[in-house]
Amino acid sequence: MTQAYVALEGGHVIEGRGRAPGTARGELVFTTAYTGYEESLTDPSYEEQILTFSYPLIGNYGVREERFEDDRVHPRAALAKEFTADVAEWLESEGVPAVDHLDTREIVTDIRDEGAMKCGIAVGEDVTEEDALEQLEACKGMSEHTDIGAQVSVDEETVYGADNDGADVALVDCGAKGSIVDSLVARDATVHVLPYDAAADDVAAIDPDILFISNGPGDPANYEQAIGLVQEFVEDTPVAGICLGQQIVAEALGGSTEKMTFGHRGVNQPVLDLESGQVVMTTQNHGYTVAEPGDHLEVTQINVNDDTPEGLDGVVHDVITRQYHPEANPGPEDTLDFFDDVLAMADERASTAVPADD
C-alpha cells in the first residue's frame, strides 16, 4: 500500500492510503456534497485548498469530462473515506495527491470545531510523517495569496454566445464556473468573459447591459480591480454577482466582509427569502461572507443555519447578488430563476434608455 500522511495544523498526523502520489500544502476544508465530485474538484473556488469529502464513497458514477466546471482540478489535494479507481486515476493524471482510508468524520469534526486549518500532505512509496510535517510548516510560513485571481482567470477576453440576440454581459472572471456562462448563454445573452484584473476601458469597450462579478477563491478584499469596476459602472450599468462576486460588490458599495470559521461548502444549504418566506436548498462553496451590507445594499435572503446574508439587492442602483450558486452544478435547481432576474435588469435598462438625438 502506498504510504500517505496528512499533517494537521495542530500537529496531529493521520495515516491513510495513498491513491495519487505527490506532496501538497494548503487550507483544509470540507464539503458535505454527496454527488457532484467532478464539479467540486473542477471548481476554481477550491484553488489552494485541500478538499475533504464528507460523503464516504467518491467515484461511484465514474468521471465524465462534460460535467467539469473548468479544464483542470483546482484543489491542491483530495481526501476521502474511499476513492474509486476512476477518480484516483483522474487525480493522478492531474498531478493532484489523493488519500483515502481516512476517518473523514473525525477530520470534518476537527474543521468544524477548530475552523479551516493549514495542512500538509505527502503521498508516495517512501514518504514519512516528516514529509507531511515539512509541507505543513511550509504552509504555515505562507501568507494568504493576495493575487490568487491570476491562477484561475482567463488571460484575455473570451466571448460566448456571439450570435445571440439578448443582453451583452461583461463577466469579470475571478474563477468563474463554466455553468455560469452556460446559464447566461442559454438565455440568449452574449457573455464577454474578462480577466479578473480587467481595466475600466475593457468594460467600457463592450458597453455591457450587465456587469457580472463571478465566484472565485480567496479574500474578496484582494480583488481591488474588480471592486473598482463595480464602483466605476454601478451608476449606469446593472451589476450582478455570485459567491465571491456578492462579497466584492459589498466591498465596493460600502459594506464589509469577513472570514468564516469553516465556511459553507455543500449542496444542501437552506436559504430563506425574507420577502416571500420561501426556503430553498442551495449549493455553496465559500469561506468568506458579507459582514455588513452598508447603506447601498439590503439583505433580501439569509442562511437558515447562521443568518449570514445570501442575497443582496441595491437600495438605489440596479444590483442583485447571491452568495450561493444558482447554476447549482452539483446540486438543486431551485434558484435558476436568478439568471432571469439578472437579465430582466438589462431589459429594464433598455426600455428606459433615452434615445440618442438624430
Which pLDDT belongs to residue 355? 58
- Find the domain containing 201 and state its range: 149-352
Q: Which residues pair with 22 in a beta bridge?
A: 123
Which pLDDT belongs to residue 348? 81
Report, as an integer, the average pLDDT of 197-209. Answer: 98
Residues 296 and 264 in one domain: yes
- CATH code at 213? 3.40.50.880
CA distance 97 to 123: 7
DSSP 287-316: EEEEEE--SSEEEEEEETTT--EEEEEESS
Residues 126 and 160 in one domain: no
Which pLDDT belongs to residue 129? 97
Which pLDDT belongs to residue 358? 47
156 vs 334: which has the higher pLDDT: 156
Q: Which residues pair with 302 in a beta bridge?
A: 272, 309
Catalytic-role residue among 243, 264, 286, 310: 243
Residue with cell 495519487: 20
Instruction: Say if residue 302's pLDDT is above 50.
Output: yes
Instruction: Say if residue 143's pLDDT is above 80.
Output: no
Spatial neighbors of 267 by CB under 8 A, at least 6 apart, are 32, 33, 34, 35, 36, 281, 282, 283, 328, 330, 331, 332
Residues 119 and 223 in one domain: no
With respect to residue 358, please indicate whether it lies within any of the assigned structural domains: no
Consult the annotation and say whether 115 binds a ligand.
no
With respect to residue 357, please indicate whether it lies within any of the assigned structural domains: no
Instruction: Say if residue 356's pLDDT is above 60.
Output: no
- CATH code at 94? 3.50.30.20
Residues 102 and 66 in one domain: yes
Report, as an integer, the average pLDDT of 66-81. Answer: 97
325 part of the active site? yes
Which pLDDT belongs to residue 11? 85
Report, as an integer, the average pLDDT of 172-194. Answer: 98
Consult the annotation and say whether 3 binds a ligand.
no
| Per-residue cell: 355 | 434615445
Instruction: Say if residue 13's pLDDT is above 70.
Output: yes
Instruction: Say if residue 163's pLDDT is above 50.
Output: yes
pLDDT digit string (tens) for 304-352? 999 999 999 999 999 999 999 999 888 888 899 999 999 999 988 777 7
243 part of the active site? yes
Residues 324 and 247 in one domain: yes
123: three-class secondary structure by DSSP: strand
Which pLDDT belongs to residue 347? 86
Closest CA to 179 of 54, 26, 66: 66
Instruction: Say if residue 203's pLDDT is above 70.
Output: yes
The answer for 328, left when phi > 0, alpha when psi is -120 to 50, beta otherwise, is left
Residues 9 and 112 in one domain: yes
Residues 256 and 345 in one domain: yes
Taking the CA atoms of 194, 199, 205 and 208 in sequence, report the sign of the dihedral they define: positive
> Which of 140, 170, 190 is a domain's end point?
140
CA distance 290 to 25: 27
Q: Which residues pair with 281 in a beta bridge?
A: 270
Which pLDDT belongs to residue 330? 84
Taking the CA atoms of 109, 222, 45 and 269 in sequence, report the sign of the dihedral they define: positive
Consult the annotation and say whether 10 binds a ligand.
no
pTM: 0.96
Helices (H), the chain: 37-41, 85-93, 104-114, 129-140, 149-152, 178-185, 200-206, 224-233, 244-252, 337-352
Consult the annotation and say whether 254 binds a ligand.
no
Residues 176 and 315 in one domain: yes
**For the chain, what is the mean pLDDT?**
95
Domain count, the chain: 2
Consult the annotation and say whether 45 binds a ligand.
yes
Give yes or no for a contact between 241 and 297, defined as CB atoms under 8 angstroms apart: no
With respect to residue 236, please indicate whether it lies within any of the assigned structural domains: yes
With respect to residue 243, please indicate whether it lies within any of the assigned structural domains: yes
pLDDT digit string (tens) for 44-68? 999 999 999 999 999 999 999 999 9
pLDDT digit string (tens) for 218-241? 999 999 999 999 999 999 999 999
Catalytic-role residue among 74, 192, 264, 325: 325
pLDDT digit string (tens) for 110-128? 999 999 999 999 999 999 9
